[in-house]
Amino acid sequence: MCMYVAIRHCIEADWLNDRDQFLYPNDGWKTDTEFQNDCLAFTLFHGQNRISSTNGVNHWIPFTENEVDAQDKFNNRFMTDFINGKSKIEKTDNDLFSATEKGTHASTPLGRRFLPDAQNVFNAGRELWRYFHAQTNVNVNASLYDIREHFQGRNDKQGKRILNNILTHFKY
């Protein structure tokens, strides 16, 4: 899923590739952990990541409570466990990319290793989460989308509530 989101959003659509299927030339992406990790970092912190804790349990918190000085425990630690190699991916019969493969595959026994650029993105995200958790009366399980909403607010436009695109908070 992260690879799909990253590829669809990192290549700007124009008249030439607007309806491209983004076919891949070989199966190298399946074992290219550097590419997979970059896609994960891109997807976790991209503006189109609209996962919200208001819709249920937030599985996409990429940090531990200690890293961001959270006021309380998170409801779910899937993403940090996955990044650290503690979570396993269950293959099912209806898996989108490998319907014939079955079994359990660990992410990596030592955890995911990110390139320096991705580490910088994680560091900036960690500082944002830390600043958010320093505020009073915040949702401990907030996602990136919820944090953006907290600092930017929302405006009603034609009866719909939309997230502001104008930064009003000096720290964000």
Q: Which residues, including other chains, have CB under 8 Å from residue 36's CB and lie 6 or more apart?
A: 2, 3, 29
φ, ψ dihedrals at 43, nearest 5°: -70, -40
pLDDT at 92: 58
- CA 16 to each of CA 21, 22, 36: distance values in angstroms, whole numbers, following the listed order: 12, 12, 26
pLDDT at 172: 46
Backbone Cα Rg of the chain: 18
CA distance between the termini of the chain = 28
pLDDT at 12: 78
pLDDT at 123: 95
pLDDT at 62: 93
Partner residues linked to 69 by β-bridges:
none
What's at 119, amino acid-wise? Q
What's at 111, amino acid-wise? G
pLDDT tens for 26-61 read: 787 788 888 888 889 988 998 788 888 888 888 889
pLDDT at 168: 57
Residues of the chain short of pLDDT 70, as ranges, are 1-4, 20-25, 88-110, 155-172
What's at 23, amino acid-wise? L
Residues 17, 14: Cα–Cα separation, whole Å? 6
Q: Where are the domains of the chain?
A: 2-70+115-163
